[in-house]
Chain A
């Protein structure tokens, strides 16, 4: 596919617009509060735009389309589970209300009040490791989309993604959450137009009857390994996987730091609850619409006699789009997909940079830094994360499909931090020893999956579910065997 001059103009205008808007917000940053949580001035609609834009990245579109290619529409069941989890948390205020009311900047900071500084540091460590490994594949998958959708020579992939990351880094480093909110808003609009346009074109091109008929025929002929509509069928996710996902998604809605940073930036707890409820259905489309594109790609290539050489279940969708999108629309779609990539990268870099500063570095300082030095250090940490992304994204090979990798790396801290949050807020008997045991044990299963997952088959639901069981066991046994100190330990974590 060749981009026309009109396509290029759309893409360049969008990129320049994001850069200017992001840099403009820099003037309002006076300290870490504005940089990390936008001074807590965010209202509900801006929160919806930011939350939706951050959590729907190009990587999301790639793995959801892969699920659609392999499992048909049933591959989008996880989106329905997320809808339920987000709505439930938004309706009840479970965890997010006490967390917003605590006035903290990160989740580990909340733990210090309940379990002491050492637990805060340990939690910050696992949150940062899990988060960084999780976003490590974002650039690679984003690049794969661009290569296959636009016909970009593969040799340019690294350079294009490096330039894109550099642009995002510039406004994120300088404007922090204020820049992220404004650029997320622009990216939410561009991305929304792109997703709706692609979905309509895919349905028009394939035809609903042909799509469903193709999936039916493939299932009956054994070409499709999973039932295309029924997620509970033995060939598809099954009960075990979906139960793990239900627990995982409730943990995610209450502890995934990039989501929680929007809760903490909200004007008040009621705003955060409204933001969750109103964004919840967005997560169905976040899985289902790319899964629709993936399923359409499957039917298309099945009719052509199979995938071309060098194309996999992961890259089939962008390859298919490159064949059907008309010139003129591709500029909007590429801009929309770049928006998805940029909003996620900026939100994630800022979030993990804030956690590393706030929970790993700050507790180790003998004397507090000046506001200027704090800001500089946080900005340098965002830069370091960008460099890590470039290096890690180039050499790591996925042990399974992309969604399983993301779920398992997230689980390094999700299960244990969720256990700490629930026990810390609702179980008076919880102790710092139980908290530390939960953090360490909760990380065992996911780390084993990542280290030996390529040589020894470990089911992702086993690795993921074991972390919930082990974290809970660590918290209960560790707390029952020790006494809670009269006041939280006031020691320096690094002493």
Chain B
């Protein structure tokens, strides 16, 4: 049953595995840097800043 839907699913499965593997590496690197920036921003708030609500 070599139908068009099967070809589409085959491509999507391969692309999904590839995309997940890529994101683990890419997001792992980029988001790690963003966490460091986030902590830096939060640490640099002056202690006199009122609590937010």
**Chain A complexes with chain B:** yes
In contact, B21 and A371 (Cβ under 8 angstroms): no
Asked whether A74 is an interface residue with its Cβ less than 8 Å from the other chain, the reply is yes
Instruction: Select which of B24, B35, B41, B49 is within 8 A of A181 by beta carbon.
Output: B35
Other 7 A-B pairs with CB < 8 A, given A41-B42, A52-B23, A371-B51: A32-B52, A45-B31, A49-B31, A74-B9, A289-B13, A374-B53, A375-B51
A-B contact pairs, 19 of them (CB 8 A): A28-B43, A41-B38, A43-B34, A45-B26, A45-B27, A48-B31, A74-B9, A76-B9, A192-B20, A192-B21, A199-B16, A208-B10, A230-B3, A281-B16, A285-B20, A288-B9, A289-B13, A289-B16, A371-B52
A38 and B5 alpha carbons, distance in the complex (Å): 43
Q: Which residue of B lies closest to A72 (CB)?
A: B9
In contact, B24 and A182 (Cβ under 8 angstroms): no
In contact, B52 and A289 (Cβ under 8 angstroms): no
Asked whether A195 is an interface residue with its Cβ less than 8 Å from the other chain, the reply is yes
Q: Considering the complex, which residues of chain A in the window 261-317 have a beta carbon less than 8 Å from any beta carbon of chain B?
A: 281-282, 284-285, 288-289, 292
Which A residues fall within an 8 A CB radius of B?
28, 30-34, 38-39, 41-46, 48-49, 52, 73-74, 76, 80, 178, 181-182, 185, 188-189, 192-193, 195-196, 199-200, 208, 212, 216, 219, 229-231, 281-282, 284-285, 288-289, 292, 368, 371-372, 374-375
In contact, A189 and B28 (Cβ under 8 angstroms): yes
In contact, A288 and B24 (Cβ under 8 angstroms): no
Contacts of A44 in B (CB 8 A): 34
In contact, A34 and B34 (Cβ under 8 angstroms): no
In contact, B24 and A196 (Cβ under 8 angstroms): yes
In contact, B5 and A288 (Cβ under 8 angstroms): no
Given A49-B31, A216-B1, check contact A39 B20 (CB 8 Å).
no
In contact, A46 and B19 (Cβ under 8 angstroms): no
Given A188-B27, A282-B23, A289-B13, check contact A182 B35 (CB 8 Å).
yes
In contact, B17 and A196 (Cβ under 8 angstroms): yes
Q: Which residue of A lies closest to B42 (CB)?
A: A28
Q: Which residue of B lies closest to A185 (CB)?
A: B31
Contacts of A30 in B (CB 8 A): 45, 49, 51-52
In contact, A288 and B12 (Cβ under 8 angstroms): yes
In contact, A38 and B38 (Cβ under 8 angstroms): yes
In contact, B35 and A193 (Cβ under 8 angstroms): no
In contact, B24 and A33 (Cβ under 8 angstroms): no
A219 and B5 alpha carbons, distance in the complex (Å): 15
Contacts of B50 in A (CB 8 A): 371
CB distance from A234 to the nearest CB of B (A): 15
In contact, A185 and B12 (Cβ under 8 angstroms): no
In contact, B27 and A48 (Cβ under 8 angstroms): yes
CB distance from A421 to the nearest CB of B (A): 25
In contact, A45 and B34 (Cβ under 8 angstroms): yes
Q: Which residue of B lies closest to A216 (CB)?
A: B1
Instruction: Select which of A181, A188, A229 is within 8 A of B3 by beta carbon.
Output: A229
A192 and B51 alpha carbons, distance in the complex (Å): 36
Q: Which residue of B lies closest to A80 (CB)?
A: B12
CB distance from B24 to the nearest CB of A (A): 4
Contacts of B30 in A (CB 8 A): 45
A43 and B38 alpha carbons, distance in the complex (Å): 9
Q: Which residue of B lies closest to A212 (CB)?
A: B6
A170 and B21 alpha carbons, distance in the complex (Å): 31
A161 and B19 alpha carbons, distance in the complex (Å): 31
